Structure 1
Amino acid sequence: MGGLIVARELSQRDGILLGSSSALNVAGALYAAAKMGQGKTIVTFCCDLAERSYSKLYNAEFLKEKQLSTEYENLASMFERYQAEPSSAVITVS
């Protein structure tokens, strides 16, 4: 759901139309930022735009048909929710 929230928020707020993979990458970067705190540099890739996923990701009828909410939280509340998650929710890969 994070990718859907990021995609919708960025499209409406900034006019940036991301594809589903890019939206998930940005959601992951947002999660990392929430967990790592200030003063860190986080890099992600936008590997696709919305040309292939526009008819689904940005289509309210399609989302409703798939029982995905067209009501979404904003990025600030998503960030706060990520910050509130316990550290045990984070998996460290080494």
Structure 2
Amino acid sequence: MPRYSLNIEYDDGSTLADEDGAEFPDINAAIVEARKSLKALVCDTIDTDGNRVATYIHIGDGSGIKRGVVSIGTVTPDCVKAALKAE
């Protein structure tokens, strides 16, 4: 099974590399996981009043080539909708 890394990019330009990666059946499964992860990261930031927001997850293959990207614009977690309504 192919191994993909889900590397996080924050709104301040900093990154967190996924050193180990994980095995997924294909790139589509890795994208699904990246979307779930980004939603969770954004909600964690809102819940903790963090000052960095995860804005992208870059998906790389086992050789380090970027195969996809998920942006905050493509996921709208319920926690974001609730925070916007509260304002």
| Fold in common (TM above 0.5) | no
Q: Which has the higher strand share?
A: 2
Which is bigger in relative contact order (C-alpha 8 A, separation at least 6)? 2
Normalised-by-shorter TM-score class: 0.3 to 0.5
TM-score normalised per structure 1: 0.31
Q: Which has the higher helix share?
A: 1
TM-score normalised per structure 2: 0.33
